Amino acid sequence: MLLNHRNVTANEMLHLALNSREIHLIQRLRGMKKSYQGHEIQYQKMKNKDVLSWDEMIGHNKGITNDTKRFLMDVLAQPWAPKGGKVIELGCGTAPILRWLCKKKFEGLGVDVSKTAIKMAREQSKGFDIRFKRADVCNLSAEKSRTFDLAVDGHCLHCITQPEDRKRFLKNTFRLLKEGGLFIVMTMCAPVDRKMFSNLFQEQKLIDRIIYAPYDRATEYEGSRTFEGRDYIPTRYVGHCKSILTELRRARFHPRLIRYSHPVAQVPFSNLAVGALARKSFVKHPAS
Ligand SMILES: C[S@@+](CC[C@H](N)C(=O)[O-])C[C@H]1O[C@@H](n2cnc3c(N)ncnc32)[C@H](O)[C@@H]1O
């Protein structure tokens, strides 16, 4: 390959010489930040504008959307779903989902990487039986095993873009659930309507199932890449819905209720919602 060296940045040179696993390792050794730490900036903006939740910021209502509510109600109505007990929400943001669940006989723990999100969640959850903790869902070693009846991913898993971190997230969740506990996952996925994506997100790139956003200080972040001389950080993972189900099964979850929805107007991504049981032994269910 012929290169015009004057136009090649140090980051590009690194990528040309090494494979992605090696790059990831080097970036980790350099003590780089994880791109999901950038959510803090988003919550500071929300707080300054009195926006109460992530959904409100992206133009939905303040509480949880009807779509989310419908899926939660469907899953919790199943005979194998817990009817109360302890729930952990991984990536709770300002906790609209947890508050909804805690009106239904659950007591909650909300975990989020953003300090401001946790502060806003505490302010909005006075009077609810919910504790909050600032932590990275890929590193929950301080939490006791087999504590929860229910774990909820309300669109956090798709923020975890690196394969090793996703494995850690799922492994932690499995460990924290009681035997037979329920994991509810709601996540963006592929197929993606590429034309709609590039019309709506002209600045962003979708490469190898990862969405990259341009960022000036991208080289401080793990997984950062340079495309056409501009630096980008990974922000979302949109793997195919089938491969996300495979990730869950590998982490010993047994999907029992699966809902998949196609891209719709203004939303170029598919969505996968799963109710899966944490079972150590393999049980073949007719529905999985
Ligand atoms: C799309 S928002 C959804 C928030 C919340 N579930 C809701 O319904 O409003 C995703 C959330 O995941 C959090 N998050 C992303 N990566 C995380 C990580 N590694 N550890 C903890 N929280 C994380 C973000 O800070 C953000 O609050």
- CATH number of the domain at 89, please: 3.40.50.150
54 lines ligand 1 (CB under 6 A): yes
Share of the chain above pLDDT 70, in %: 86
Would residue 226 count as lying in a domain? yes
Predicted local distance difference test score (pLDDT) of residue 288: 43
Would residue 29 count as lying in a domain? yes
Using one digit for the tens of pLDDT, what is the confidence trace for 181-226? Answer: 999 999 999 999 999 999 999 999 999 999 999 998 888 888 999 9
Nearest protein CA to atom 27 of ligand 1, as residue? 93
Nearest protein CA to atom 13 of ligand 1, as residue? 91
Would residue 283 count as lying in a domain? no
* 226: number of Cβ within 10 Å: 19
Which residue range forms the structural domain that includes residue 58? 9-278
Predicted local distance difference test score (pLDDT) of residue 248: 98
Domain count, the chain: 1
Using one digit for the tens of pLDDT, what is the confidence trace for 244-287? Answer: 999 999 999 999 999 999 999 889 999 999 999 998 765 555 55
Between the CA of 251 and the centroid of ligand 1 the distance, in Å, is 21
State pTM to two decimals: 0.88
